[in-house]
Structure 1
Amino acid sequence: MTLHPNLDQLNPEQLRALAAQLIQRVETMDKQITHHKSVNEKLAHEIALLKRFKFAKRSEQLSPDQASLLDDLIDTDIAAIEAELEALQPAPVEAKVRQQPKRAPLPPQFPRTLIHHEPDNSHCQCGCALKRIGEDASEKLDYTPGVFTVERHIRGKWACEQCETLIQAPVPAHVIDKGVPTAGLLAHIMVAKFADHLPLYRQEKIFGRAGLPIARSTLAQWVGQTGVQLQPLVEALREAVLAQRVVHADETPVQMLAPGEKKTHRAYVWAYCTTPFSALKAVVYDFSPSRAGEHARNFLGTWNGKLVCDGFAGYKAGFEGGITEIGCMAHARRKFFDLHVANKSQLAEQALHSIGGLYEVERKAKEMSDEDRWRLRQEMAIPIAEKLHEWMLAQRELVPEGSATAKALDYSLKRWVALTRYLNDGAVPIDNNRVENTIRPWALGRSNWLFAGSLRSGKRAAAIMSLIQSARMNGHDPFAYLKDVLTRLPTQRASAIDQLLPHQWAQGS
């Protein structure tokens, strides 16, 4: 409690200092109130739009399956926004008494796992022995692949007859405290949706066959609430990736449906991952409504390391701002490979042979330290690269302008400095293949979920897939990882959130 000084005992200088402190405190609180008000208004407006899009008349051009997918995404977005709004609300002075919603009992045929919660000490503070006078029981729905089980949490009631004190052990915190799903069920839904690419309407049918149909709207709410809870972990993963001095980057198109419109438009997923030579194994995805270079600049922020990428112009502004461009030799090789496949070009075959020599050096240097890799490149790769460059310049003078061969040569010659920067740094890879492999799950998913329902749902998918794919890169089973993380997350200190990142996670730790 703050003790207020007696104003009559303060001199004028102390009064002025106190007044200045109070004014500063009021200004700070005004700023906080204004910020929270603006965030609340923004989220309230967004949730109103989503509800209007959900309940208004739909376009007849959407098939029933597409419409159900959109409903799932809107329900998920609404649940996520409501979770964010709830987190912004200040803690009430007095708990509001509100009627608990009636929930249908879980099917009695499901196996029950009894989990008892009892006080650590069976004696009251007054010294008397406590007497067990009853218990409270609540049930949460768990899931292992193909089998539902029910965790029955039994909280014994212990009372002291002398001082009439009642004691109960608390139930461990859950990601969704007032819901029925356990961390295991939520992890299964997340992995099925974002790793196995099963839309929620398919999961609804699978759960129905297992004995308990769970409404898609309920599944969508669970996904939205869980995505909000996992966001701090994704932010920490992004910081870990951007702490590296060499990062891969690539992007791929994804169709996004703007609610209320009759067609999809092209959005993009950007992938940023660590190199094969880094001790950190991680990838972070960023979903954006377009391919504009500003999205890459916003993600990278003040980072100014070495960026391994293709020749996309969207990264150019970053290079002008201090980021070092590292070209992709695989893209250069692909131009000559396509040329050779098309017309059996002997020139393309010779280029492929020389580039193959550079890759042979990389195979020898794969398991070396950065320093030894740099030495081997200096000794073996630089002579090959210099001869290849001289040969390309000579051949370019001989081929006609605008021909396919000229275009293949121009691609490498215009990017030659960026393509060969890897030779002078053993920590830099020769190509961008690492990140292209991390893009593949999105390509597989496109044929299953068809489109992203909104910018928010796309960003949520990018965040959760960042954790799932990073877990895979570190050799973890995504289900085991997410189940453990969702179990520990509600009680994990914010300062120790890094312990739950895939590259630091150890099961059961």
Structure 2
Amino acid sequence: MTTITLSADEYQALLAEQQRLTHQLRLMTVERDLLKERVDAFLRRLFAAKSEARANPAQRDLFLNEAEALAPNGAPVAEEALPEAVEVAGHQRKKRGRKPIDPHLPREIVRHELPEAERVCAHDGTRLVEIGAEISEQLDIVPQQVRVIQHHRVKYACPCCDESIRVTPAPARIILKGLLTEAALAWVVTAKYQDSLPLYRQAALLGRFGGDLSRTTLAASMVRVGHAVQPIINLLRDHLVEADLILGDETVIQVLKESGRTAQSKSYLWAQMTGSGPPIRLFSYTPGRGGIHAQPLYDGIKPGVALMSDGYEVYNAIAVARGAIHLGCWAHSRRYFIEAEAAIPKAARNAQQPATQFIAAIGELYTIEANAKDLSAEQRQQRRQEQSRPVLAKIEALLLPHLHTVTPGSLLGKALHYLASQWPKLTRFVDNGAWPIDNNRCENAIRPFVVGRRNWLFCDTVAGARASANLYSLIETCKANGIDPYAYLVELFRKLPLAKNAEDFEALLPWNLTPSAH
């Protein structure tokens, strides 16, 4: 056996090299784990369920991303199977049966009569008389009817000379010499921006009923009508900046033809909504996401207004510049912990995991909110002071020990640092019962646009993007006010060309305009 003798200097050099390699291995291991965590998170985003619902029934409906409610067997609940409540002594018994058809729908009566030969009593031969009828109803659907409105502008002339020929002037139209009527324009707008039906599908659908319209014609009409409603959008913005509570969010939109930018460049659609006063939903297009684009959208808001947003730093700059009270979104904070918990192997998951503890504590805040949703703002503020403040103290006590003991680049580290950076904003909601705990209402308002984007994918031009933002604003504001968008748009398109002054335009806002029968 050979013995190797090292000098003290050689030994120290070897020891230093060993420590360097050990440190490098530790760094590579951490980097590998972080990269694996990111890949797993990306795969979950692509293929896993998007719902953030938890097992606690009190929290279940607060975080659902899906619009459909599922029955216990996993099938969608059919409207016809909704139960009726029947009063029975001592309790209510649920009666199963078909839900009645809307009584306001027009009805066509079809009589089914016995043949003459069968209207005779089998016992004594007397002729039977009518004593009533058994009534059942079916829902009938009449397909779209495409027709042509032919306008005859009558000409008048003097029978004695050729000097006095007059023609009845053309009626005012929202699109000068437009091919589509106001009702047709409203149908196309609601089909695209409410029902997410792309224009090429609308063109194909109309073609089956004799409406030979190209997608280019429909697109040009949408751009023109979207610009024509700009005075109403301006008035909505005037009302929005006067609100005491404003919620904001943004999402990506792609515009193919934009000067100085490639087709792959990201543009943005900004959503703003009121949390007080008339319900308003506004969408605005910008070519970027920086403060230079966002700041003008909040020009004119009152100092002291409450601004609810996610943790994007631009909103903080807006709040500081405008003297607003910036509120943080607990749903965003919770989402980071959901992602961190999902990265934990199932075998290692338990109630003692930090991510799970934070999720449970945040769930307590939402349980308090759910129980206080029917209270007045003053009562809700008192409830928050009494019940939510202790929960916030518990979350803060849980945050401090973990903040500097977790790798910042990990999913849990990101969740902790987001919570720490947003903490002052996240705790302000307890000071006012009218302030929301999260930005979910604004996210829900922007979701129809995201659904539509999956179908039509992009906007062709900047003019089209801005027109789409205007039309989305009208559709979502109508829905927020409980107004049928189609009926409102038909009336708006008919009356907007006749508006001359500020009072006329104010009367055309969704909550002021009453559709008339035509």
Q: Which residue of 1 aligns with 2:269?
A: 269
Q: Does 1:436 align with 2:434?
A: no
Are 1:150 and 2:174 an aligned pair? Answer: no
Specify the structure having the higher radius of gyration (Cα).
Answer: 2
1:96-107 residue pairs with structure 2 within 5 A?
A: none
Counterparts in 2 of 1:324-339, with a 5 A limit? 324-339=325-340
- State the shift of 1:150 in Å: 3.1
Partner of 2:368: 361
Q: SS at the partner of 1:179?
A: coil
TM-superposed deviation, 1:168: 8.1
Counterpart Cα distance in 2 of 1:331 and 1:478? 31
Q: 1:47-67 CA distances to partner (integer Å, 9 max, x unpaired)? A: xxxxxxxxxxxxxxxxxxxxx
2:355 counterpart (348, 361, 370): 348
Shift of 1:166: 8.8
Q: Which residue of 2 aligns with 1:487?
A: 494
- Bigger Cα displacement from structure 2, 216-225 vs 375-384: 216-225
Task: Give the C-alpha shift of residue 145 in structure 1.
Answer: 6.4
Provide the residue aligned with 1:313 in structure 2: 313
Change in Cα spacing, 1:401 to 1:182, as seen in structure 2 (3 Å) is: closer
2-structure distance, mates of 1:179, 1:310: 42
In structure 2, relative to structure 1, the CA distance for the partners of 1:441 and 1:300 (3 Å cut) is: same
**How far apart, in 1, do the equivalents of 2:362 and 2:320 lie?**
29
Q: CA deviation at 1:169?
A: 7.0
Query: What's the CA shift for 1:180?
Result: 3.9
Alignment of structure 1 residues 8-47 onto 2, 5 Å: none
Closer, same or farther in 2 for the Cα pair 1:198/1:161, shift >3 Å? same
CA apart distance, 1:241: 1.5
Shift of residue 264 of structure 1? 2.2
Distance in 2 (CA, whole Å) between partners of 1:263 and 1:171 is 41
CA RMSD of aligned residues (A): 2.8
1:506 corresponds to which residue? 514
Q: Are the aligned partners of 2:258 and 2:462 in contact in 1 as well (CA < 8 Å)?
A: no
- Deviation of 1:156 after TM superposition, in Å, equals 6.3
- Asked if the contact 1:156/1:169 (under 8 Å) is kept, the reply is yes
Letter in 2 for 1:443: V
Q: Following superposition of structure 1 onto structure 2, how do residues 422-501 of structure 1 map, counting pairs within 5 Å?
A: 422-496=429-503, 497-501=505-509
How does 1:71-470 map onto structure 2 within 5 Å?
146-153=144-151, 172-258=171-257, 263-275=263-275, 278-303=276-301, 304=303, 305-321=305-321, 322-343=323-344, 344=349, 346-396=353-403, 399=406, 402-470=409-477
With over 3 angstroms needed to count, the CA separation of the structure-2 counterparts of 1:393 and 1:485, relative to structure 1, is: same
Quote how far apart the aligned CAs of 1:151 are: 3.1
| 8 Å CA contact retained: 1:282, 1:503 | no
Offset at residue 401 of structure 1 (A): 5.5
Give the secondary structure class of the aligned counterpart of 1:271.
strand
Unpaired stretches in structure 2, ≥5 consecutive residues: 1-141
Equivalent pairs, count: 364
More deviation in 286-295 or 403-412? Answer: 403-412
Partner Cα separation in structure 1 for residue 265 and residue 325 of structure 2: 32
SS of corresponding position for 1:147: coil
Q: Are the equivalent residues in 2 in contact too, given 1:327–1:415 (CA < 8 A)?
A: yes
Partner Cα distance (1:184, 1:145) in 2: 16
Deviation at 1:359, TM superposition (A): 0.9
| 1:155 CA drift (Å) | 5.9
1:167–1:451: structure 2 CA closer, same or farther, 3 Å change rule? closer
SS of the equivalent of 1:441 reads helix
CA distance in 1, matches of 2:471, 2:158: 48
Structure 1: 5+ residue stretches without partners: 1-143
Q: 1:411 to 1:189 in 2, by over 3 A?
A: same
Task: Say if 1:294 and 1:314, in contact at 8 Å, map to a contact too.
Answer: no
Amino acid at match of 2:484: D
Q: 1:159 to 1:454 in 2, by over 3 A?
A: closer
Structure-2 residue corresponding to 1:3: none
Deviation at 1:465, TM superposition (A): 0.7
> 1:403 & 1:198 partners in 2: Cα distance?
40
Query: Does the aligned pair in 1 maintain the 2:232–2:509 contact within 8 Å?
Result: yes
Q: Please state whether the residue corresponding to 1:248 is helix, strand or coil.
A: strand
For residues 351 and 365 of structure 1, the distance between their equivalents in structure 2, rounded to whole angstroms, comes to: 22
Distance 1:407 1:484, change over 3 A: same
Distance in structure 1 (CA, Å) of the matches to 2:204 and 2:232: 31
Aligned to 1:307, the other structure's residue is in SS state strand
Secondary structure class of the residue paired with 1:255: strand
Contact 1:258 1:264 in 2 (8 A): no
- Three-state SS of the structure 2 residue aligned to 1:353 is helix
CA contact (8 A) 1:234 1:463 kept: yes
- State the secondary structure of the residue aligned to 1:500: coil
The two structures have a TM-score, normalised by structure 2, of 0.64
The CA deviation at 1:354 is 1.5
> Cα distance, 1:418 vs. partner?
0.4
1:431 deviation in Å?
Answer: 0.3
Deviation at 1:360, TM superposition (A): 1.3
Residue type at the aligned position of 1:332: S
Q: CA deviation at 1:172?
A: 4.1
8 Å CA contact retained: 2:339, 2:411: no
Matched letter for residue 255 of structure 1? Q
